[in-house]
Amino acid sequence: MKKVAVLPGDGIGPEVMDEAIKVLGAVQKKFSFDLAYEYADVGGIAIDNHGQALPPSTLRICENSDAVLFGSVGGPKWESLPPEQQPERAALLPLRKHFDLFCNYRPARVFPSLTAACPLRPDIVGEGFDILCVRELTSGIYFGTPKGREGAGPDERAFDTMGYSRSEIQRIARMAFEAARKRKGKVTSVDKANVLTTMVLWREVVIEVAAEYPDVALNHIYVDNATMQLVRDPHQFDVMLCGNMFGDIISDEAAMLTGSMGLLASASLNTEKFGLYEPAGGSAPDIAGRGIANPIAEILSAAMMLRYSLGQGEAADAIDKAVETTLEKGICTVDIAVDKSSTVSTGEMGDAIVAAL
Ligand code: NAD
Ligand code: IPM
Ligand code: MN
């Protein structure tokens, strides 16, 4: 039996996780397979209960699992701790690094029934767009050294280091080209090669890797232009290949263009098909505890887990389809509803998706 480490975390994490588990229960019945869950604390709740954001017991549970289903971490309660002890830096980033989860897929697709939830003009969004952001996740400015602060007074300074090795760029570029092959055959590499030396190497290596994929079209775009082009005409993009920080920013923008942060699922993978699956959004302190968070990003992340790590592609397809059917019926949480007077709760959205299965 496949084992899944379930890490709900903070804020809306536990609320949306309940719905993902509900939907996973329904597909297990429908497709006759069993998953064994092991729950563990991570993030702020782990600081409260164990004194650290990523307790060794939680890490051990993840190591003994076939995949990790993650909610979200962080929130105002832990923001006054020293930065290196905060949930994001002390739990999420170390988890990504520990398992070498260098490849982060963030698929931003407009559901046909949700084009009105897209903040772009109807003539721009049209029938909707379909973008896959492939984000490098274990290097770049997030992890580069040195990183720190020095000095005092007006001379005090802080620094982070952006760096990529040739092999780090190669492996994420290959993932982007492989993905493009199964899609519309186009990779747009997002960089800042006009200013950053790291990005000069990035562009060089991406061009070299492209030679292995003559069937895939490649173009390059500076990140500032990319953010602008996304709102001018998102249809021009298929796969967007990004370094760690640019991918973080571009994917939030793309998420909102699909209607809500609560729709963007993600898969963070290593070379062994082990993955951590989580919504791209955070713990949403502004809406936590009110039962109104959109659980779709967590539910679609669970579907990606079935597809990429657990060998249950059919069940994953069924979840994707059930989400689409539910939205076609006009069932919406408040974040994606155009008519705010008729919305469903987090739990009702989960129930509706189960019913559509
Ligand atoms: P956020 O993604 O939590 O929220 C941004 C906005 O999107 C908010 O208005 C929120 O209500 C909305 N939103 C997000 N998910 C939603 C959902 N499922 N349904 C409906 N609306 C949703 O970003 P933030 O406010 O910048 O960060 C809050 C906390 O979360 C911070 O501590 C941050 O570091 C953390 N964070 C964690 C993760 C993670 O655990 N993977 C990711 C991003 C941010
Ligand atoms: C994300 C989040 C994280 C990131 C934070 C919480 C560390 O914003 O997964 O997009 O920046 O990678
Ligand atoms: Mn982010």
Distance, in Å, from the CA atom of 137 to the CA atom of 269, rounded to the nearest integer, reads: 9
Mean pLDDT of 50-67: 98
pLDDT class for 131, splitting at 50, 70, 90?
very high
| Domains of the chain in sequence order | 1-114+264-357 (3.40.718.10), 119-257 (3.40.718.10)
Atom of ligand 1 nearest to the CA of 335: 20
pLDDT tens digits, one per residue of 274-331? 999 999 999 999 999 999 999 999 999 999 999 999 999 999 999 999 999 999 999 9
**Catalytic site residue 273?**
no
Q: Which tokens sit at 102?
A: 């260098």
CB 227 within 8 A of CB 65: no
For the chain, percent of residues with pLDDT exceeding 90:
99
Closest CA to 218 of 234, 203, 230: 203
Confidence (pLDDT) at 286: 98
pLDDT class for 234, splitting at 50, 70, 90?
very high
Mean pLDDT of 61-85: 98
pLDDT tens digits, one per residue of 144-172? 999 999 999 999 999 999 999 999 999 99
Find the 344 Cα to ligand 3 centroid distance in Å: 26
Task: Please give the ipTM for the structure prediction.
Answer: 0.99
Confidence (pLDDT) at 267: 98
Protein residues whose CB sits closer than 6 Å to any atom of ligand 1:
12, 16, 72-75, 88, 92, 260-262, 278, 281-287, 293-294, 297, 335
Confidence (pLDDT) at 189: 99
Query: What radius of gyration do the chain's Cα atoms show?
Result: 20
Mean pLDDT rounded to a whole number for the chain: 98
> What is the model's pTM?
0.98
Distance, in Å, from the CA atom of 62 to the CA atom of 268, rounded to the nearest integer, reads: 14
